[in-house]
Chain A
Amino acid sequence: MSADGKKQLTFLDPEKLANNARVNDTVFQFLSIVSGVVCGILGFTDLAGFAFFLVFNVFIGAAVVAKLKFQHVHFFPSLDLIFVNGASNSLGTFVLFWTLFYNICHLF
């Protein structure tokens, strides 16, 4: 909104939007491996494991926002593009490494 109350159009660069989404996805995918390994080491099962996944993803999103110097509006149209997209794309990777390392540490 401008000073006189009228809406203003903001033109976004689609290439930079795609680049930021790709970088965010890379960070979440890599750290979902780490979170799965840590969750398996700590021996979490059932809902405790998924709660750990949510907590860790909040930490990852906060780290990304901190890297953006808390000015995410200049890099992402909305905050949920950081948290929700990143977490939803990395859930499968987390479950894979969680089950693998739980089996290695606590079953075999």
Chain B
Amino acid sequence: RGRLVCTRHNSASMFDDPHKLASVGGFLLLAHAVSLVISYREDLKISGIEFAGVPLFVLAECLIGSLCCTWGALGFSGEFQPIAQQPRELPPDNMEKMHDFVTFNHRGTGKTRKE
């Protein structure tokens, strides 16, 4: 007799899904970019220079983090399904066998009634 093999089709934890891991990694990159910008602004305050824009490496981290989050979101959000309705076989028409709804008291009885 064959053995009963139990397999997990859905990822039980976040670490099994690469898309979720990519999203978490993207958010970690963005968090690191936040810390970099905060320290950069503090350095500008100390040196008395006005803020003109974020450094290039912060921009690169934001870009890479956004791309990781985008790839992850497209993966874990679900699958798109074709919207065209597939033709399906209708159940057989068995109304003729439904004797419960047969009635003999209808307008046609007047034609066959003998005077």
Is the Cβ of A23 less than 8 Å from the Cβ of B82?
no
Q: A88–B33 Cα gap in the complex (Å)?
A: 28
Q: A67–B78 Cα gap in the complex (Å)?
A: 11
B22-81 interface with A by 8 A CB criterion = 23, 26-27, 30, 33-34, 37-38, 41, 51, 53-54, 58-59, 62, 65-66, 69-70, 73-74, 77-81
In the complex with contacts A34-B26, A41-B37, A63-B74, A75-B80 CB distance below 8 A: yes
In the complex with contacts A30-B69, A31-B73, A63-B70, A41-B30 CB distance below 8 A: yes
Q: A43–B54 Cα gap in the complex (Å)?
A: 8
Provide the residues of chain B in CB contact with A17, threshold 8 Å: 83
Chain B interface category by residue count:
20 to 34
Count A interface residues, CB 8 Å. Answer: 36
A101 within 8 A of B: yes
Q: A31–B55 Cα gap in the complex (Å)?
A: 23
Tell me which of A19, A30, A64, A105 contacts B34 (CB under 8 A): A105
Tell me which of A31, A37, A76 contacts B83 (CB under 8 A): A76
Chain A binding surface SS class: helix
Provide the residues of chain A in CB contact with B51, threshold 8 Å: 43, 106
B95 within 8 A of A: no
User: Can you name 22 A-B residue pairings with CB atoms under 8 Å?
Assistant: A11-B84, A13-B84, A13-B85, A17-B83, A24-B80, A27-B73, A30-B77, A31-B70, A34-B66, A38-B66, A41-B62, A42-B58, A42-B59, A43-B54, A64-B74, A67-B80, A75-B80, A75-B81, A76-B83, A77-B83, A101-B34, A106-B37
